[in-house]
Amino acid sequence: MSAPSLDAVIVGAGVVGAACAYYATRAGLSVAVVDRGPVAGGTTGAGEGNLLVSDKEPGPELELALLSTRLWRELAAALPPEDAVEYEPKGGLVLAPDETALTALRAFAAGQRAAGVEAREVDEHGLADLEPELTKGLAGGFHYPQDAQVQPARAAAALLRAARSRGALVRLGEEVTAVLTGPHGAVRGVRTPRGELHAPAVVNATGTWGGRLAALAGTRLPVLPRRGFVLVTEPLPPGLIRHKVYAADYIADVASDSAALQSSAVVEGTPAGPVLIGATRERVGFDRTLSTEALHRLAGQATALFPRLADVHAIRTYCGFRPYLPDHLPAIGPDPRVPGLHHACGHEGAGIGLAPATGLLVTAALTGDEPPVGVWPFRPERFDSRGPADDFSDPFDRPDGPPPSPGART
């Protein structure tokens, strides 16, 4: 079965694919969104919903995050009440256990302020005012009022519903088995078991499976999965934990290239009452085996920050795979190696936060408009020119075998 010709096919119904569809249809483009699973069936559904500027050093990712911070506020106000994304401008609180860590945080925050981030130093007494249940004896920290939160699955669904109301086709449970190209190598659509969808552009919003979709199109993108676990507690009284709270070593973990297990607790409440405790990072392929070591580390770090949590029951845990690229920047925009192929993946743990800005950048590329921020650092082909000292494994060379084909879950 064939569908009418489209301006673009977006592969992936996670929050990034949904944002691409939202902004593309708002610009008047005709698009289809295809996913082998449900909405938010992959990384998006396993995320905490972080919208962070506090963990990003000055540079292109922070610029993208600041743009997305504004866009998420606009989306929360613009989407109808039945599509509430549970946007919470709760702010972040980054903690320093000692003076050495606090000095490093001051330098980090100074650079962020110069880039447009709001960051306020808080002493030990100020920490107690912001978070009364926080452990005593910390040297201080920084409050980041721009940090916020959404419910990621609701956000993806809301953006897709808005895109569908403007004519987007949404085809779930449908795997992309081929990227169609013409005689000169340019994209002309995709094939699924239901038939072909024809378009002069295909957007790779498949998250952790971005390397596999790139391979279907005849090119390479070295996306690797980086597993993370989240602990969920029983419901607790509202306001017990008021901000997104984490220790300063979380920032180093985000920027690390290590494949080994890393953990630094990020603790936050939710409107429904449970507290979310993340996050771990490790590169173990697509292995979903429960790691008791990872969970013990998270529990220990969380109770060290909030002693009251020691008497609270954890009722469940879940894991997901962050789409990791070697330089920690996403791939966004047209791929010159395959005309018509566009990438919107590789955001690692920041995909939910960066989704709206990514959608705007992809839409600008599809329409030929000027992008709202510089796109050069995110160019997909940048890994082709890596030097001999660069060391990253092929995304299909994994100890647990090849990843699932895309089609595509993000």
* Percent of the chain surpassing pLDDT 70: 91
Nearest residue to 213 (alpha-carbon basis) of 172, 179, 170? 179
* Assigned CATH for 1-89+146-223+325-410: 3.50.50.60
Model confidence band, residue 279 (pLDDT cutoffs 50, 70, 90): confident
Q: What is the largest CA-CA distance in the chain?
A: 68
> For residue 408, is pLDDT > 80?
no
146-195 pLDDT, tens digit each: 999 999 999 999 999 999 999 999 999 999 999 999 989 999 999 999 99
Beta strand segments in 305-381, E:
314-324, 331-334, 341-345
> For residue 45, is pLDDT > 80?
yes
Predicted pLDDT at 274: 94
> How large is the average pLDDT for residues 340-359?
97
Of 3.30.9.10, 2.60.40.10, 3.90.480.20, 3.40.50.720, the CATH number of 90-145+224-323 is 3.30.9.10
pTM of the predicted structure, to 2 decimals: 0.92
> For residue 64, is pLDDT > 70?
yes
Predicted pLDDT at 249: 82
Predicted pLDDT at 406: 36
Mean per-residue pLDDT of the chain: 90
322-333 pLDDT, tens digit each: 999 999 999 999
> For residue 217, is pLDDT > 70?
yes
Phi and psi torsions of 200, nearest 5°: -80, 0
Predicted pLDDT at 385: 61
Contacts 24+ apart (CB under 8 A), 79-86: 79/158, 79/162, 83/154, 83/157, 83/158, 83/161, 83/162, 84/154, 84/158, 85/150, 85/151, 85/154, 85/155, 85/158, 86/49, 86/149, 86/150, 86/151, 86/154, 86/155, 86/271
> How large is the average pLDDT for residues 393-397?
39
Helix (H) / strand (E) element for 148: namely strand 148-149
Q: Which amino acid is at 357?
A: A
CA atoms within 13 A on the CB side of 187: 35
Residues with Cβ within 8 Å of residue 42, at least 6 apart in sequence:
14, 207, 208, 209, 320, 321, 409, 410
Predicted pLDDT at 3: 53
- The residue extents of the domains of the chain are 1-89+146-223+325-410, 90-145+224-323
Q: Which amino acid is at 181?
A: T
91-147 pLDDT, tens digit each: 999 999 999 999 999 999 999 999 999 999 999 999 999 999 999 999 999 999 999
> How large is the average pLDDT for residues 56-61?
96
